Amino acid sequence: MLTRLLLAARTEKGLDTVAALHAVLPALKGAYALTVSDGHRLYGVRDPHGFRPLAVGRRGGTWLLASETAAITAVGGDVVRELEPGEVLSIGPHGTASSRLEVPDAKTAACLFEYVYFARADSTLSGRSVYQARFRAGQALADHAPVGGSPRPVVVATPETARVAADGYAERAGLTVVQGLLRPGQAGRSFIARDQEARHHAVRRKLSPVPAAVAGRRVVLVDDSLVRAPPCGRWRGCSATPGRWRSICGWPHRRTAGPASTASTPGAPRNCSPPGCR
């Protein structure tokens, strides 16, 4: 749809690509980060709220655009900067040009899930290290939700994105991290499956408990966020014999580094920062 709108602005109104972007995008509501090419120049656009990230980098004489900085460094490039909210960046043989979408009432609103879930830990967002944000979130979580009693528990992360938060939790609490859950290979996101049964099967495929790591131990299970909580069911029902894991390691003390998600309009901007990073 967006491609059709831009094409109509170019052909019917005789606008160039930058002018077409300025004509079409201010009327759109929602979150986006765009990379566009008209065969002559490369364009990067970030929505007026800055909800989705977009970075520009260079590798020798080649310009790069990517949704996060880790993608630029992974190919040997150097990160130049992140695009500003509402910025339209035009890149061509003779350099770059920047302009700003005219949306006067737009409020800056970063996506929290970029910090706690979507982005790679070796990326930076708005000048903040994603790794440090997750580690500090784990530390803040240990202060907010400590686990006492005896024997001392071990900390288990829900792989993969909760590992850094689990490290922060364990460091602050003086506990040991063990790999009680593994994620073999690549698996999709279980929380977007069509129904509860599909989510259950998706979790069973992507998470594999390790009995040797948690047998006879109390467990603090650290997750990055709470959307539908299917990994919890995987932990409790991880064997063919119901209740087996309850008798081995007891019910885990579950801790979530990010805030619980609540129903909201999809793509609606939220201006918030990860715990411990303000």
pLDDT in tens, 223-266: 886 655 544 554 544 432 333 333 233 445 666 666 544 433 33
Mean pLDDT, range 40-60, rounded to an integer: 95
Residue 234 pLDDT: 46
Report which of 143, 142, 145, 167 is spatially closest to residue 156, judged by C-alpha positions: 167
Structural element, H or E, at residue 155: strand 154-157
> The pTM is what?
0.76
The answer to whether the beta carbons of residues 72 and 85 sit under 8 Å apart is no
Q: What are phi and psi of 192, to 5 degrees?
A: -100, 5
Given a contact cutoff of 8 angstroms between Cβ atoms, the answer to whether 17 and 34 are in contact is no
Q: For residue 197, what pLDDT is reported?
A: 65
Average pLDDT, stretch 87-91?
Answer: 97
3-state secondary structure of 98: strand
Statement: residue 66 has pLDDT above 60: yes
Query: For residue 278, what pLDDT band results from cuts at 50, 70 and 90?
Result: very low
Distance CA 160, CA 117 (A): 9
Q: What's the pLDDT at 277?
A: 33
pLDDT of residue 238: 41
Among 111, 132, 47, smallest CA distance to 83 is for 47
pLDDT tens profile 146-190: 988 888 899 999 888 899 999 999 999 999 999 998 887 665 555
- Where are the strands (E) in 4-132, listed by range? 33-37, 42-46, 55-59, 62-66, 78-82, 87-92, 95-100, 124-125, 128-129
Query: Which CA distances in Å does 132 have to 20, 48, 129, 141, 166?
Result: 39, 26, 5, 14, 12
Residue carrying the six token digits 């302009």: 99
Is 81 a residue whose pLDDT tops 50?
Answer: yes
In sign, the C-alpha dihedral spanning 238, 159, 141, 178 is positive
Q: Are strands 62-66 and 124-125 parallel, antiparallel or unpaired?
A: unpaired
For residue 204, name the pLDDT band (cuts at 50, 70, 90).
low
- Among the ranges 35-49, 196-210, 252-266, which has the highest mean pLDDT value? 35-49
pLDDT for res 105: 87
Which pLDDT tens digit goes with each residue over 91-150? 999 899 999 999 988 899 988 889 988 999 999 999 999 999 999 999 999 999 898 888
Tokens (6 digits) for 42? 């490369």
pLDDT at 3 over 70: yes
Return the pLDDT at 217.
Answer: 87
Model confidence band, residue 87 (pLDDT cutoffs 50, 70, 90):
very high
Identify which of 135, 185, 204 has the alpha carbon closest to the alpha carbon of residue 163: 135
pLDDT above 90 for 199: no
